[in-house]
Each structure stands twice: as structure tokens, then as C-alpha cells.
Amino acid sequence: MFGKSHQAATQLLEKRIGYRFKKKAFLEAALTHPSYRYENPEAPSDNQRLEFLGDSVLGLLAADRLTEKYADADEGELTQMKSALASGAALAQAAAILDLGASLQMGRGEATNGGAERESNLEDALEALIGAIWLDGGLKPARKFFEKHIFQTLEPAAPGLFNPKGTLQEYAQKNGLSIPEYRIVDESGPDHARRFTVEVTVSTFGFVGEGASRREAEKHAAEKAVQSLI
């Protein structure tokens, strides 16, 4: 169970998201990073299983909403839009707006190393939160949360999210900036689970993205550039 100070933080989070959990254990699990459970074996669970569920719930809600709003879009366009809404950078952005990192329970090492702002942690926590809402309240509150805190937050930036590299290049050309240049700044992990860190430079601006491939990392870097510059 969370301490009193953390319980207060979760209560504030419930107010921000507009949903009060009937079963607090779902919320506690969604906000528990695996590093906390590793350091505290007595913790009943972490957010990995809820993240798995939330990823599927998010996919369903995104497909339903995009099909409704973009009635003339073909399958390929809808797939691209759905991928953009569910991308790591997009979900981390939505999670940051909710200040989700402040409510995460993490191990000391993860917390000390900036885990509350880490994109992957924010993405995982947001997906876990969606999964927790689904289990606690079902489709209706999960859809309401998605609409207010993900779709309405991210969809206005749709052009940049759906094709960030193309949007960034077009912006640079129109504003007389240098063509975006991408370079790998770090590559780590075993062969079956590589992690790439790429920096995109536009004029004097630099933005960093991470991913399981160079292409994915470039996309995430471009998303950050678009969100900042446009």
C-alpha cells in the first residue's frame, strides 16, 4: 500500500483525470514501476500487466474514434493515425500534461536517475492507467478518459504526429532552416532488444528520440522537434 503522502498524490491525480477508482488496488498497481517492486518485494504488483491490457484498450478506442471522425480515410491512413496517437512520444506527452510522473512509485535508483520524466516510464504508466480504468469501470469511463486526456490533447497536432519527419522537413524548408539531419548518438542492449538514441538537428535546435530501431528513434526525435517548433 502507498504511504499517506503518496495516497494524497493519487487523490489529486484522480481529480485531474476525472475518475475516482472504486478499487484503489487497480490505481496503485498502475502507478507502481517495476523498480519499486524489485526493491520492495512485499509490494503486491506493478504496472506491467496493466500496461499490456491498456495497450490493447488504447488501440480499440483509437480505432473506434478515428474511424468515426475520419469517415473518408482509407485503411492505410487510419493505421498511420492510430500508430501516431499510440506512439511512445505522443503518450508520454499526454502523460506529462497530466503530471503522471509525480504520482509514480519507483525504486530509489530509478527515481534518482530521472525516472519520473523518462518517456518510456510515462508511456507505460499511461497505458497502465487506461487498463486500470477499464478493469475498474469498464468501457464508458475508459472511453471518456481517452477522449479527454489523449485524443483531444494529441489530435490537434495530428499532422505532426502522423508524419513527423515529413512535417519537420516541410517546416524547415518554409522557414529557411537547414534540412533536418539525423545521427545516432547511442546504441545499446542485446541483439534481440536493441535500443537506439537519435538526435535530429534543425539549424541550431537539437532534439533526441529513442526507439527499438533507428527508424523509430528518428520518428520520435522528429515528433519532439515538431511539438517544440511548430
Better-scored residue on pLDDT, 56 or 86: 56
Q: Does domain 4-156 have CATH number 1.20.1740.10?
A: no
The Cα–Cα gap between 221 and 173 comes to 18
Spatial CB neighbours of 12, under 8 Å, sequence gap ≥ 6 = 103
Mean pLDDT of the chain: 88
All three cell numbers of 53: 491490457
**Same CATH topology for 4-156 and 164-229?**
no
Q: State residue 158's pLDDT score.
A: 57
pLDDT digits (tens, 9 = 90+) for 20-42: 999 999 999 999 999 998 888 88
Spatial CB neighbours of 57, under 8 Å, sequence gap ≥ 6 = 130, 131, 134, 142
pLDDT digits (tens, 9 = 90+) for 39-76: 888 888 999 999 999 999 999 999 999 999 878 777 87
Better-scored residue on pLDDT, 224 or 57: 57
The Cα–Cα gap between 14 and 10 comes to 6
The model scores a pTM over 0.85: no
Q: What percent of the chain has pLDDT over 90?
A: 52
> Which alpha helices (H) appear in 155-195, and where do they start and end?
158-162, 164-174
Mean pLDDT over residues 70-84, rounded? 79
Q: State residue 70's pLDDT score.
A: 79
For the chain, which residues make up each domain, given as ranges? Answer: 4-156, 164-229
* C-beta neighbour count of 157 within 10 angstroms: 18
Q: State residue 188's pLDDT score.
A: 92
Which residues are catalytic, by number? 55, 127
CATH T-level topology, domain 164-229: Double Stranded RNA Binding Domain (3.30.160)
In what side-by-side order are the strands of the sheet with 205-211?
181-188, 195-202, 205-211
